Structure 1
Amino acid sequence: MLSIQNLHKTYGAQVLFDGASLQMTPGERLGLVGRNGHGKSTLFRLVLGEEDADSGIISLPRNYRIGHLAQHLHFTQPTVLEEACLGLPEGEEWDHYKAERILFGLGFVEEDMAKAPSTFSGGFQIRLNLAKVLVSNPNLLLLDEPTNYLDILSIRWITKFLRAWKNELIIISHDWEFMDSVTTHTAAIHRHKIIKLSGGTEKLYAQIAQDEEIHEKTRVNEEKKRKQVEVFISRFRAKASKASSVQSRVKQLEKMGEKEKLSRIANLDFAFHYAPIPAKRLMEVHNLSFHFDPHKPLIHNFNFTIHAGDRIAVIGKNGYGKSTLLNLMAGELNPLHGTVRSHPDLELGYFGQTNIDRLHKGQTVEQEIASANGALNRTAVRTLCGIMMFSGDNAEKKVGVLSGGERSRVLLGKILAAPANLLFLDEPTNHLDMQSIESLVEAIEDFEGAVVIVTHSEMILRAVATRLVLFQHGNAEVFNGGYDYFLEKVGWEEEGKQHR
């Protein structure tokens, strides 16, 4: 099994691992957590041999096969099915049904099997890569954010698949509910070490918090004792009658050592600013219709009202029109038929994937956030930068050099800069770590205005949604109730077909 001993890895002044160790056991399914930038993906690259550690030992059994989800897209076969079958282990090359089962679970349909991989979107090409890995049945499966390119139905399928996984697994995911549901153990990269225990994420972080609380209390008590000893030594050093006692205290001081004060780890902690509005209805959608391809209608005669205080989740398979609906309601697309009417005092905050792409790469974080509200002075803008974890010189970074998660935080900062009474949030958790997602969910819960969110995370759906817009049965429809109530009363159409 995978064994890591005394691992050290740095990038310049940035320390990722300082004496980290990890030991896996047969059949262990491990969830790997940690803040963005703390080394989760780097650990995968080290295990795969794509990077070298500064020092330490990473060992694997002889003939131990590792499978990992490659992000680069290179296909050699003329059809999806033939490409997926490349992953079949030796001796199973003709068991095409195994590849088909996984492809269907990941959202491909029968007619896709004979299509060329190049005809699919980037997201579906990543799914094809994932299918090749899953069908290969490796000894150790490494999955880095596998749900980023999956819709909610595919996530539900892969959850069942991974629960039945018999070999070893290490999975990185920002969705702790999904990850906890498929793993047996959890490990955190924390303060340059790897801390592992049996059980889920909440149990692990509770243990870390308890250990650090004990560390800090012990450090404070030892510091008090140290000062008392130092005072005694200073007071009686010159007295011959106390020489023996002073010497004893000096030796005691030398043996005591000194516990290091734990550094503070920055957390995303914020609240959306509410713009008061004297209205019960914020937006009304009447007979809305839209398509890009006349042969594939996305939205047809859709009627919908957003009320003050609503918590609405838009859910469905990828490519069925969820983001398109938000763009139509935000006025970024014009409907082919129907109307979208907003209250005159409506103030919209829109977190969309296209909005992230529109961030000006040549501007600094500070300049980009300031552009959202010209009435803010520099102190207020800098405060917002700090809230979004861009304190000090980090606020001077150019947007073009930021990671996906950092750009997401810049866009959130722009939304915070201007008060709003309606939020449109399109997959806002992509690229955010677990702690940042928890802060976002809390901010949504505390916001006085209305929220419409597109998400594939069942954890977030259960936490915030009281109404749903469903994309299934070939159209958008409103469900008045939460996600669990929907599963109980209606359920997913495709899952119903699988059970028949």
Structure 2
Amino acid sequence: MIQVTNLSKHFGAQTLFEPISFMLTKGNKIGFVGRNGSGKSTLFKILLGEEEADSGDILIPKNYTIGALRQHIEFTHKTVRAECASALQGDEVFDVYKIEKMLFGLGFSQEDLDKDPMSFSGGYQIRLNLVKLLATNPSLLLLDEPTNYLDIVSMRWLQTFLREFKGEIILITHDRDFMDAVTTHTMGLRRKSLMMIEGNSHKYYAKLEEDDERYLKTKANLDKKRAELEDFVTRQKARASKAVMAQSKAKQLEKMGEMDDLEEESNLSFSFNYKKTPAKIVLDAHDVRFGYDPEHPLFQNLSFKLEKGKCLAIIGKNGKGKSTLLNVLAGELQLQHGSLNYHPETAFAHFGQTNIQRLNLKNNVMDEIYEVDPLLGITKVRAICGGMMFSGKMAEKEINILSGGERSRVMLGKIIATPANLLFLDEPTNHLDMYSIDSLCEAIKSFEGSTILVTHSEMMLRELADALIIFHHDKAEFFDGNYDEFLEKIGWEEESESAPKKVVSNDYNESKKLRAKLIQERSFKLSPLKKQIEQCEATIMKLEEAMKTKNEALIACSSGNDIGELQRLSKELKNDEASLEKLYEQFECLHVNHDALFEAYETQLKNIQN
């Protein structure tokens, strides 16, 4: 049991919470909610002893252990198996199979177990930290967004694991369905105070609405009574016969006190800018194929039709090609085989990580919205900024000082400013809190056009998806039905098959040596390509910045009579555009070569018998 009493925390003039109290009893699994910046992660740090509270007490029983998911990476062993097994304690110190089951559940293969932990992407390294945490069997698990780097299959495994976990849990996640499937209680920080109830997040938010409604009604009655008393005192205090009564009413006013107005909370609120189209079929895809390795395409023989007003969701494990498919459909990557037939009046709006990375760091929020359409009026731009929670001076903040979540909202703002009838959305909920995700879902549902969506959120799939493209069984397959129908009729192969069996071998030395040699050789060959890609990307950004400056100069010159300068700038911009196009071709070619080489070595590594 943990007992927190009268805890408060301030950062300068900003108050995060004061005073808050709660008790965590045996078996409690708490979903912890609140807006970004409300203090959830800070409370975790206080419970872990990494941050000091300004006041209050925390009572933790003796021998009660608290474990938290770490975002920083620090590995000391040469293989995934050994690194995770190092976290085993007590009687389980040799129970390596327990570690393997966790690794399989979180998306690692049998071949991955003997790989160097540092050879994996950042997301998979966070998964290793999660395995190490779960292996320690702490009394209390503090989990801050554990699903951020998980695909849908791994999320379903973790959900089951946490439901069966014998200790206590406090869970922060933007995925409401995941939270409600795991937790017994919901706790939230709001307006610097804390409330905890038994039940799921829907019950918690309903309680908040009831409390606010009751508060506003009480305040309205009190304000009305105050106004009546003030009016009586004002009218009667000059009359001698009423003076005593007026004084009595005045004292009553003093004792009555006032109720503060409820603090307004910013909400993400918007609707997409629908461009009318007569199309009934927005996209007809036939026999689509793409792959960086011609012999092992990411997807092939893929055909489907997307009707106006429908939502198509692309789902599957990480690294299988979901974002690549979305980029092919959006024209970001060139189609290698097959056909994509769009209605002539189809207009795109694309939200993806590549788009967010292209935000100009020197621009402010308003500048980025204006770049979509320079003819947008200041009123319209301010309205879009306000809908994305950048009201007033916030809209003048530069992109380079914004958080990842704020940059995602800027990109959503740019999409809102774009007239479109087809949305491409790649993990749009990353960095958004529950309130913002709810608003996004409502905006997609009310959008008259069509949507192609990549997501790992089962809540979004259930609310939005009319059809699916599923990456499974080593292929991409179109499924004409919703997500629940897919689970009922087909389901995830990883959940229907048993986990990979342990492979026992007396001698791993030769395979390990060969594996290490290949990894070293791969690194040696990929390193120059990586440098060329980085140099090319830097040159592109520099040229785009120069072109922006010249465009601004061209606009300024157009109002004057300097014809020679206009011609010079126009000629330079035309040459720059040609150079930029060549740079993008070079950038794509380098990427293709890099990925093909990487995959070739991956194939060799997989063929090595442990």
Q: In the alignment, does 2:233 pair up with 1:248?
A: no
Which residue does 2:343 correspond to in 1? 343
Give the TM-score, by structure 2 length: 0.80
Greater displacement, 286-295 / 324-333: 286-295
Which residue does 2:106 correspond to in 1? 106
**By percentage of residues, which structure has more helix?**
2
Which residue does 1:87 correspond to in 2? 87
Report the Cα distance in structure 2 between the residues aligned to 1:377 and 1:8, rounded to whole angstroms.
44
Which residue does 2:559 correspond to in 1? none
Q: In the alignment, does 2:314 pair up with 1:314?
A: yes
Give the TM-score, by structure 1 length: 0.97
Question: Residues 21 and 193 of structure 1 are in contact (CA less than 8 Å); yes or no, is this contact kept in structure 2?
Answer: no
Report the Cα distance in structure 1 between the residues aligned to 2:334 and 2:182, rounded to whole angstroms.
42
Greater displacement, 260-269 / 243-252: 243-252
Report the Cα distance in structure 2 between the residues aligned to 1:15 and 1:436, rounded to whole angstroms.
23
Q: In the alignment, does 2:212 pair up with 1:225?
A: no
Offset of residue 295 of structure 1: 6.0
Greater displacement, 85-94 / 68-77: 85-94
Report the Cα distance in structure 1 between the residues aligned to 2:167 and 2:283, rounded to whole angstroms.
51
Which residue does 1:300 correspond to in 2? 300
Offset of residue 139 of structure 1: 0.6
Residue type matched to 1:246 in 2?
Answer: A
Structure 2 CA distance for partners of 1:41 and 1:294, relative to 1, 3 Å: farther
Question: Residues 101 and 499 of structure 2 are in contact (CA less than 8 Å); yes or no, is this contact kept in structure 1?
Answer: no
Report the Cα distance in structure 2 between the residues aligned to 1:171 and 1:372, rounded to whole angstroms.
39
Q: Which portions of structure 1, spanning 4 or more consecutive aligned residues, are displaced by more than 3 angstroms? A: 293-296
Which residue does 2:215 correspond to in 1? 215
Report the Cα distance in structure 2 between the residues aligned to 1:260 and 1:200, rounded to whole angstroms.
29
Q: In the alignment, does 2:468 pair up with 1:468?
A: yes
Structure 2 CA distance for partners of 1:296 and 1:91, relative to 1, 3 Å: farther
Structure 2 CA distance for partners of 1:499 and 1:481, relative to 1, 3 Å: farther
Report the Cα distance in structure 1 between the residues aligned to 2:312 and 2:287, rounded to whole angstroms.
19
- C-alpha RMSD of the superposition: 1.5
CA shift digits 1:302-339 (9 cap, x unpaired): 22322222211100000000000011111111233333
Report the Cα distance in structure 1 between the residues aligned to 2:134 and 2:320, rounded to whole angstroms.
26
Structure 2 CA distance for partners of 1:41 and 1:296, relative to 1, 3 Å: farther
Question: Residues 104 and 499 of structure 2 are in contact (CA less than 8 Å); yes or no, is this contact kept in structure 1?
Answer: no
Greater displacement, 55-64 / 117-126: 55-64
Which residue does 1:159 correspond to in 2? 159
Question: Residues 421 and 450 of structure 2 are in contact (CA less than 8 Å); yes or no, is this contact kept in structure 1?
Answer: yes
User: What runs of 5+ residues in structure 1 fail to find an aligned partner?
Assistant: none
CA shift digits 1:150-199 (9 cap, x unpaired): 11111111111111111110000111111011000000101101100000
Report the Cα distance in structure 2 between the residues aligned to 1:106 and 1:24, rounded to whole angstroms.
28
Q: In the alignment, does 2:353 pair up with 1:334?
A: no
Question: Residues 232 and 246 of structure 2 are in contact (CA less than 8 Å); yes or no, is this contact kept in structure 1?
Answer: yes
Question: Residues 141 and 169 of structure 2 are in contact (CA less than 8 Å); yes or no, is this contact kept in structure 1?
Answer: yes
Q: Secondary structure of the residue that 1:91 maps to in structure 2? A: helix
Q: Secondary structure of the residue that 1:147 maps to in structure 2? A: coil
Offset of residue 392 of structure 1: 0.2
Question: Residues 65 and 138 of structure 2 are in contact (CA less than 8 Å); yes or no, is this contact kept in structure 1?
Answer: yes
Question: Residues 312 and 466 of structure 2 are in contact (CA less than 8 Å); yes or no, is this contact kept in structure 1?
Answer: yes
Greater displacement, 422-431 / 219-228: 219-228
Which residue does 1:143 correspond to in 2? 143
Report the Cα distance in structure 2 between the residues aligned to 1:243 and 1:192, rounded to whole angstroms.
43
Residue type matched to 1:233 in 2?
Answer: V
Q: Secondary structure of the residue that 1:149 maps to in structure 2? A: coil
Computing the radius of gyration over CA atoms, which structure comes out larger, 1 or 2? 2
Which residue does 1:370 correspond to in 2? 370
Which residue does 1:483 correspond to in 2? 483
Report the Cα distance in structure 2 between the residues aligned to 1:21 and 1:485, rounded to whole angstroms.
44
User: What runs of 5+ residues in structure 2 fail to find an aligned partner?
Assistant: 501-610
Which residue does 1:71 correspond to in 2? 71
Report the Cα distance in structure 1 between the residues aligned to 2:228 and 2:50, rounded to whole angstroms.
53
Report the Cα distance in structure 2 between the residues aligned to 1:373 and 1:137, rounded to whole angstroms.
55
Residue type matched to 2:49 in 1?
Answer: G
Question: Residues 174 and 433 of structure 1 are in contact (CA less than 8 Å); yes or no, is this contact kept in structure 2?
Answer: yes
Question: Residues 145 and 171 of structure 2 are in contact (CA less than 8 Å); yes or no, is this contact kept in structure 1?
Answer: yes
Residue type matched to 1:262 in 2?
Answer: L
Report the Cα distance in structure 1 between the residues aligned to 2:116 and 2:334, rounded to whole angstroms.
33
Higher relative contact order (CA 8 A, sep 6+): 1
Question: Residues 302 and 478 of structure 2 are in contact (CA less than 8 Å); yes or no, is this contact kept in structure 1?
Answer: no
Greater displacement, 180-189 / 80-89: 80-89
Which residue does 1:282 correspond to in 2? 282
Which residue does 1:357 correspond to in 2? 357
Question: Residues 85 and 96 of structure 1 are in contact (CA less than 8 Å); yes or no, is this contact kept in structure 2?
Answer: yes
Residue type matched to 2:403 in 1?
Answer: S
Greater displacement, 262-271 / 320-329: 262-271
Greater displacement, 336-345 / 397-406: 336-345
